[in-house]
Structure 1
């Protein structure tokens, strides 16, 4: 699955410096590596010092902040990799035909009267994100479209749904199981 193309025109340009990689550039700007490569017609990971890359804007700053607040609330106390994985679940849902096609709609989606994410229900989404959650979101954005396709996560110690525990587990990180 490829990341969706930009919602807006190119946000900026980046002049390649010694040591730059597509991964580092993607993390810096919070943009999928695949989108940077596609926008710049790159078919290999070769970068030349001094070349200018167009950095597409795929996600707004408001969406990044909302996603970081969700990650902060959902994955507080979890390992950094778990925070990246929580952000990736939201992005995978945006890219899936089974869910709404933007971050805000995915985060605020209701099913049978309940929000999909507990922090919406309990108001924790309104707390500011910490640095770790913000960095995890940027990493998840850079990684977008390259993961194992997890669409769900849950804590097996607290999950009450037998449906969620029937989903194929893709990875366990900290107290969360990720599934599709």
Structure 2
């Protein structure tokens, strides 16, 4: 056998051995994918990435978002932003009761006033002086004038004011924002003077709040 024939056989065996390593060694396979094909332009099906792999590569290569744009879900620049971010879904009966209280007591108020009312209701559940549930606080005799016969009227679901009240209730229950009267336990409308001997916390919108 001539020298040139032997050289051709050795080269063929070497290429076949290298191809076998490339198919089994993960570190080498990626390098083999970048080498140009000497036979034709048709890609090897084994080297075509799946959609998941392509997306993963894009995400890995994408530049990181600026730190100022990365925001915790519970951090909002304004109360309005916190309210706007809430999904309008009634998660449970307690949330529904809280939203009802916000709706009937403060639906014409600015967001800060609606949040303050929600905080009063929640504060009562934790004070030890009132029922421990939101629904119980609202149904307590003589506390909220919109309650009739111990029943809470359900606002119309399509009403914009109801959707706002529901979002405000979620913000309050999730402790995503504090009003300036966040420790209040009582409130009354500005147009009445009950003569309470309680510590006044402040006023928001059309209500005055006390501790």
TM-score, scaled to structure 2: 0.52
Q: Does 1:19 align with 2:71?
A: yes
**1 CA distance for matches of 2:153 and 2:144?**
9
Find 2:155's aligned residue among 127, 145, 170.
127
Q: CA RMSD, aligned part only?
A: 3.0
- Alignment match, 1:162: 195
Tell me the CA shift for residue 65 of structure 1: 1.1
Alignment of 1:153 onto 2:205: no
Q: 1:124 to 1:65 in 2, by over 3 A?
A: closer
Question: Is 1:88 aligned to residue 140 of structure 2?
Answer: no
Q: Which has the larger radius of gyration?
A: 2
- Change in CA separation of 1:179 and 1:63 when aligned onto 2, cut-off 3 Å: same
1:73–1:125 Cα contact (<8 Å) kept: no
- Preserved CA contact (<8 Å) 1:72 1:130: yes
Name stretches of at least 5 consecutive residues in structure 2 with no aligned partner: 1-68, 77-81
Higher strand share: 1
Aligned to 1:45: none
Q: Say whether the 8 Å CA contact 2:188–2:208 is kept in structure 1.
A: yes
Task: Determine which structure has greater relative contact order: mean sequence separation of CA pairs < 8 Å that are 6+ residues apart, divided by chain length.
Answer: 1
1:6-38, CA deviations, whole angstroms, 9 ceiling, x for partnerless residues? xxxxxxxxxxx94224346x97679xxxxxxxx
Tell me how many residue pairs correspond in the alignment: 128
Q: Map 1:45-60; keep pairs closer than 5 Å.
A: none
Q: Unmatched 5+ residue regions in structure 1?
A: 1-16, 31-58
Q: Is the 8 A contact 1:171 1:178 kept in 2?
A: yes
- Structure with more of its chain in helix, by fraction: 2
CA distance in 1, matches of 2:133, 2:169: 15
Distance in structure 1 (CA, Å) of the matches to 2:140 and 2:117: 16
Q: 2:199 & 2:209 partners in 1: Cα distance?
A: 8
Q: Identify if the C-alpha distance between structure 1 residues 102 and 169 changes in structure 2 by more than 3 Å, giving closer, same or farther.
A: same
